[in-house]
Structure 1
Amino acid sequence: MHIHNGKLYWPQTTEPFEPQPVHEQLEWYDVVVIGGGMSGSLTAYQLAKQGKTVAVVDKRQFGTGSTSANTGLLQYSNDIMLHELIDQIGERPAVRFYELCLEAMDQLDQVAGHLSGRADFIRRPSICYASSVEDVPKLQKEFETLSKYGFPCEYWDQQQFENNLPFSKPAALITHQDTEINPLKFVQGVLRLAENHGVHLYPFTDVENVLDTSQGIEIRTSTHLFRAKQVVYTTGYETVPVGERIGADINRSYAIVTKPVEKISEWHERALIWETKRPYLYMRLTEENTVVIGGLDEDKPEAPFSNELLEERGQKLLDALHEHFPDQTFEIDACYAASFGESIDNLPFIGEHPTKPNHYYLLGYGGNGTVYSMLGSVILGDLMNGNVNSDAEIVQLNRKCGVR
């Protein structure tokens, strides 16, 4: 699958990751992780800390798939608001899922503390503004719901909004304890931590078949034969080697990154910004003082090859950025399109396959993929050790929108 096309930004900020050579492949691994992006790196690190022998295989160079196209906005809020999720799955599981996302922010913070420069992991507030007056009641209801259950947030009316930003919107919901991150630096750093815990990394290793045998699981690849007690699929938006996703859509989105700007004094606390309209625009600043803005989602699975289309979408995003910050001059440095996945029920796919023992999945579909990767690695760490995890039921594969 063609995951992205165009000029990416994050590879400009770091050197390519070169894993340590594996001098002696193990005859048996406790776990083989298929996919070495955000979900795969965090899962491998989590399992290695628990004493398991782990190998990670990726058909590309590590971090060059969806990780390099990730725009690095991390939030405990989701594309589906809490009050909407309560209506969908019930109060207890919906609130607990939001709690898991907030806990994952702190867990990611702890991991970042072990990385060089913290991988530009910086806590920021998020501003979700009402795209129209009609969306104000929805934001008010979400503020009341989040406040009721103790989530850190506040509400702005139009006057408060205008006091903090150079454009006007009728209202906004501000959530606290969110984060910006350089996703490529983060994944590279986590993979180095995993290597230090004995994880074997195999780039440019394409999985061709996965077979159950009387002794365990065989993973046949383009370069090696692996044997393992358990396997984890962290393949992101690409087709999984075993099983079928039910209730998932693969779409594509566009993003630009500007050249560095000297100063943006009216950007409230360098917050992450997004909106209620669907599909939504979203934007953030980076450590290099560039602006990342994305959106214009399309119901097509693969990134387009047309440079003309990329330029046209990039100009639309640049125009939108100028509308939000009219006194600022921006120039495009990077422009790209990328595939992303969404589940119909707005929850990730995490857990053991319902009919294939020892086959596990962590597919963080949705606008909160990095957060799902973190909370999923914790859930799998329990399940794969035979421990009870009371949260696993919320994201289990054996649901209407799951994996078969």
Structure 2
Amino acid sequence: MNEAEDERMELHNGNLYWPTTESEDIVLERPMKRERYDVLVIGSGMSGVLTAYTLHQDGVDVAVVDKGKVGAGSTAANTGLIQYSNDIMLHELADQIGEADAVRFYRLCADAVDALDDVAATVGANDVYLRRDSLCFASCDEDVTKLKREYEMLTRHGFAAEWLDRDALKARFPFEKPAALVTKGDAEVNPLTLSRQVVRHLSKAGVPFFEETEVTDVVPDGDGWLVMTPQPHETFYAKHVIFATGYGASPLLDPHRIELNRSYAIATNPLPHFDDWDGQALIWETKRPYLYVRTTVDGRIIAGGLDEEKPETPHSEALIRKRAERIKQEVETLFPMYELTVEYAWAALFGESIDQLPFIGEHPDRPHLYYLLGYGGNGTVYSMLGSRLLSDLVRGIDNDDTRIVRLDRTRQSDTVRP
């Protein structure tokens, strides 16, 4: 993707819900630019601000640059399901990369959920970061075997999980499915509030944010990098540069293993109670593309799905409303006792790598140039995980976990789409 394509790309369209929960915009004073920074993070979405947060916590001098305003990208369209389980199940990932590495990656994701809990508490967002169980149900009888295999592998490796057969599921939820898997230790979040609270926390601590500052190029200079912008007097020098640009362009990185698709989401009217929703668990299913459902602190249901292999968001409001109505109908099939109306409906881009893992690490040929690209359904979890790996890398700390998500990994799935 070139810069012109990136400029035209719209990350979301429609009527977003999360911005309505924020009563105050963030107003950041333009900082004075210094001659040199240890680390420059490009991007102030969830991955960028979490990376800056972790680096700052670890005592690293860091600044953040973004071509837009903080929180204006895909974070506002994120549906905020925080799960350590991935779009590729643990047993499927084990078949792909080996059981030891697959289990280690899942453990890193579970640890990242806990770390996000700590971040939310530190920055004053613990009221919008709530721990939840997740329930994944078998969409059809044929999927029960796969789901049972996942349950057995999770429990064998110490992940807290519970198996529900048809009767046990029906006793706890108002819908009937062949079976379900309950996993523990996940969460739901208002992603926009969390990311903005991180920005407020970092800004108060003196971390500079350069908004509306487009990066046009990065050029090696000695043992560091010159980061170019359209304004000659705003060229930055940093020893380390981290691209946390979400679904935007990532300069000097081969994009051939990345696919952009689009998905749809809704937020309903507030409901008086969730008595029929055991623990307000995060709900998803085995079929692909899958329906996912969660609640919010003000009593709404957020649901999404209907993924399409199209790398642009639709401009047709009628199409978005049509997809929204289909999602609402699927939620009503699960919870027929709720009287639902769609109050917010939107479409958003999401990225996937063809092996379902994020790309995190140092450029294989360009020292001190790093990427945190959390492609997949667990972007916020990957962002937290990646921030910790990158903090080790820029501080010269060996971390064997980086090889699982390294940029130059080569597997059979790089040439054959799963």
1:52 aligned partner: 60
Q: Give the Cα separation in 1 of the matches to 2:255 and 2:41.
A: 18
1:132 aligned partner: 140
Secondary structure in 2 matching 1:111: helix
Determine what percentage of the aligned residue pairs are the same residue: 50
1:328 aligned partner: 338
CA offset digits 1:234-275 (Å, max 9, x no partner): 011111133222311110000000011112210110000000
**Correspondent of 1:24 among 17, 32, 40:** 32
**Correspondent of 2:321 among 308, 311, 320:** 311
1:295 aligned partner: 305
Secondary structure in 1 matching 2:216: strand
Answer yes or no: is 1:168 the counterpart of 2:176.
Answer: yes
Look up the equivalent residue of 2:254 and give its one-letter code: E
Contact 1:252 1:338 in 2 (8 A): yes
Contact 2:351 2:375 in 1 (8 A): yes
Q: Give the Cα separation in 2 of the matches to 1:14 and 1:354.
A: 40
1:106 aligned partner: 114
CA offset digits 1:135-185 (Å, max 9, x no partner): 000111100000000001100000011111111101000000100000001
Answer yes or no: is 1:4 the counterpart of 2:12.
Answer: yes
Secondary structure in 2 matching 1:246: coil
2:210 aligned partner: 202
Answer yes or no: is 1:340 the counterpart of 2:313.
Answer: no
Counterparts in 2 of 1:34 and 1:110: CA distance versus 1, 3 Å: same
Answer yes or no: is 1:235 the counterpart of 2:245.
Answer: yes
Contact 2:31 2:209 in 1 (8 A): no
Secondary structure in 2 matching 1:229: strand
Displacement of 1:45 in angstroms is 1.1
Displacement of 1:19 in angstroms is 4.5
Q: Give the Cα separation in 1 of the matches to 2:383 and 2:150.
A: 25
1:174-213 equivalences in 2 (<5 Å): 174-213=182-221
Q: Give the Cα separation in 2 of the matches to 1:345 and 1:26.
A: 40
Q: Give the Cα separation in 2 of the matches to 1:114 and 1:297.
A: 35
Displacement of 1:119 in angstroms is 5.0
Q: Which moved more, 1:219-228 or 1:307-316?
A: 219-228
Contact 2:37 2:239 in 1 (8 A): yes
Counterparts in 2 of 1:376 and 1:119: CA distance versus 1, 3 Å: farther
Contact 2:125 2:197 in 1 (8 A): no
Q: Which moved more, 1:222-231 or 1:2-11?
A: 222-231
Counterparts in 2 of 1:140 and 1:23: CA distance versus 1, 3 Å: closer
2:3 aligned partner: none
1:63 aligned partner: 71
Look up the equivalent residue of 1:135 and give its one-letter code: D
1:143 aligned partner: 151
Secondary structure in 1 matching 2:392: helix
1:151-166 equivalences in 2 (<5 Å): 151-166=159-174
2:369 aligned partner: 359
Q: Give the Cα separation in 2 of the matches to 1:30 and 1:67.
A: 26
Contact 2:125 2:194 in 1 (8 A): no
Answer yes or no: is 1:246 the counterpart of 2:256.
Answer: yes
CA offset digits 1:175-201 (Å, max 9, x no partner): 001000000011011112222332110
1:34 aligned partner: 42
**Correspondent of 1:371 among 361, 381, 404:** 381
Q: TM-score, normalised by structure 2?
A: 0.94
Aligned residue pairs, count: 403
Secondary structure in 2 matching 1:253: strand
Q: TM-score, normalised by structure 1?
A: 0.97
Displacement of 1:227 in angstroms is 1.1
Displacement of 1:64 in angstroms is 1.4
CA offset digits 1:208-248 (Å, max 9, x no partner): 11111236311112452211111000011111133222311
CA-atom RMSD in angstroms: 1.5
Q: Which moved more, 1:68-77 or 1:220-229?
A: 220-229
Counterparts in 2 of 1:23 and 1:369: CA distance versus 1, 3 Å: closer
Contact 2:280 2:295 in 1 (8 A): yes
Contact 2:31 2:210 in 1 (8 A): no
Q: Give the Cα separation in 1 of the matches to 2:67 and 2:97.
A: 36
Contact 2:82 2:187 in 1 (8 A): yes
Contact 1:258 1:292 in 2 (8 A): yes
Q: Give the Cα separation in 2 of the matches to 1:97 and 1:163.
A: 33
